[in-house]
Amino acid sequence: MHYNKITSELVTELINIVGRSNVIEDPEKLETYAGDEVPEAEWKHLPEVVVKPRDVQQTAEIIKMANREMIPVTPRGAGTGLAAGAVPMLGGIVLSVENMNRILEIDRENLFMVVEPGVTTGEVQQRAWAEGYFYAGDPCSADSSFIGGNVATNAGGNKAVKYGTTSRYIYGLEIVTPTGEITTLGGKCVKSSTGYDLVHLMVGSEGTLGIVTKVYLKLLPRPLHNAVLLVPFEDMQTAIDVVPKIMTNGGIIPTSIEFMDQLCIKSAEGFLDRPLPFSDAGAHIIIEVEAYTKSQLEADYETIGTICLENDGLDVFVGDNRASQEKIWKARRHLAEALRVTSPVYCMEDIVVPVNKIPAVLAEINRIAEKYSIKIPCFGHAGDGNIHATLLKENMDDATWHAVKEKVLDEIYTITHASGGNLSGEHGIGAKRVKAMAKFTDPVQLKMIAAIKKALDPNLILNPDKVIDLA
């Protein structure tokens, strides 16, 4: 596909659409929009121009112009992505949704919140809670990430075991299509068998099939009580074996089941500068449970504690108040930061495998780490098989790092694929994993994805270099 460059005439046209103050050309200011949270320089690229529409009409006009002029458009939320999905690798326009940041409606009769894409996830959570409801989406980046970005990547997070990922709470989306048309998919109906499920085709499509301008979020009753358990285990296999038992023997689906491996435990200990209990254990599991009544909560965490101890848990630490819960969560929450301190350049992966494959895959990752003399601490979501294997550059020179990283990722993906797993559980493919996507996806499915992309975006205007290589 041959794209054109932004001309001064087109900048004027953009200014006419969104206003002078919502068009950025200054190279220094463009810098902010050149990357997301992937730390490596290869995943940064300056846009030619940034536009910040304030509503769906302006968004549609921009996309129509881009189609007419053959300019690639990269939609952007808060830039907290972890797969270079919002990075304008081909230049062109970055379309930032930051000005569409209003909570439009709290619908108390149907239990919906309607928001614009530039509202932060944290604001959605807080507003829902303040109004007497609960929004279940909870990516680790909630404080800063936009709900629009959560939709784009089908964000997961710590609560996905019980509540599922973002997708489950999205019932309607107003979008601008890749050709600049406006439509609302779904809405406030809680079920539908009326044509294809376009809503959930959009969710997770990383801005390649449409730009979300309004989101219909389902609200739940507030889970009023919660408790957090920290359970150390001798090794990862023993730890992971307990996961299905909690659900079937206990009849409980916890909100979170997180894991940290030995390297992570030590790293968190160093970062927090305080000893963690059982810091020589092979695995720490953090389990959070929520309930509407205190008695149900107590019954649930006692059941879980008993199951853990009966299945070789070394001990069970219960956090049943805010302070003790924070203490348990702190190690897990600060892990990314702790690893960043150890190694400012790193590569955080997001593979997902069937839950019972976690120990075998982690063992393989350890083997690979040894083979290439690289540290790969692993943490993540044990309840849903999502492993954030994090390659640390540490003292390697750049050339070695690139060479080693390429080989290590290829081996990790190979093992993931062989285990019935996928490249990404919640971060997405973005630009970062497009090559891997091509290598590790069944060609039949690559063809399906490409066919859908081309059918809905014939000029390949929207985020054309992401998810799949269409060249």
| The one among 164, 298, 327, 345 contacting its own copies by CB under 8 A | 164
Which residues ranging from 301 to 360 are in contact with its own copies (CB under 8 A)? Answer: 350, 352-356
How far apart are the C-alpha atoms of 374 and 435, rounded to whole Å? Answer: 22
Q: Which is nearer to its own copies, 30 or 449 (CB)?
A: 449
Binding piece for its own copies, criterion CB under 8 A, among 24-32, 121-129, 217-225, 281-289: 217-225
| 23 vs 358, beta carbon nearer its own copies | 358
Within 129-148, which residues bind its own copies (CB under 8 A)?
A: 132-133
Give the residue, chosen from 8, 21, 193, 373, that forms a contact with its own copies under the rule CB under 8 A.
193
Choices 7-15, 45-53, 137-145, 381-389 (CB under 8 A): range interacting with its own copies: 381-389
- Is the separation of the CB atoms in 137 and 121 below 8 Å? yes
Using the rule CB under 8 A, which residue among 8, 21, 295, 395 binds its own copies? 295
Interface residues for its own copies in 404-423 (CB under 8 A)?
420-423
Q: Provide the mask over 234-273, with x wherever binding to its own copies is found by CB under 8 A and - wherever it is not.
A: ----------x--xx-xxxx--------------------
Return the residue of 4, 12, 32, 192 that touches its own copies, per CB under 8 A.
Answer: 192
Is position 110 an interface residue for its own copies (rule: CB under 8 A)?
A: yes
The residues near 152 (Cβ < 8 Å, ≥ 6 apart) are 75, 77, 85, 204, 205, 206, 207, 212, 428
Choice from 279, 296, 306, 324 touching its own copies (CB under 8 A): 296
**Of 131, 217, 225, 122, whose CA–CA distance to 170 is shortest?**
217
For CA atoms 267, 270, 273, 276, the dihedral sign is positive
DSSP letter (8 states) at residue 53: -
Q: Binding of its own copies at residue 363 (CB under 8 A)?
A: no
Among residues 324, 343, 244, the alpha carbon closest in space to that of 277 is found at 324
* Residue 229: half-sphere exposure toward Cβ, Cα within 13 Å: 29
Q: Is residue 471 a contact residue for its own copies (CB under 8 A)?
A: no
How many residues contact its own copies, by CB under 8 A? 91
Q: Is 293 in the site for its own copies (CB under 8 A)?
A: yes
* Contact status: 454 vs its own copies (CB under 8 A): yes
DSSP state of 290: E
Distance between CA 331 and CA 265 in Å, rounded?
8
Residues 41, 190, 341, 418: which binds its own copies (CB under 8 A)? 190
Q: Where does residue 15 rank: exposed (0-12), middle (13-18), buried (19+ CB within 10 A)? A: middle
Contact 286, 313 (CB under 8 A): no
Whole-angstrom distance, CA of residue 42 vs CA of residue 84: 10
Of 15, 198, 272, 470, the one binding its own copies (CB under 8 A) is 198
- Dist CA 186 CA 188 (whole Å): 7
Which span sits near its own copies by CB under 8 A: 21-29, 32-40, 369-377, 438-446?
A: 438-446
Q: How far is the CB of 421 from its own copies (least distance, A)?
A: 6
Q: What per-residue string of b and e applies to 71-86 under the rule 16 or more CB within 10 Å gives b? A: bbbbbbbbbbbbbbbb
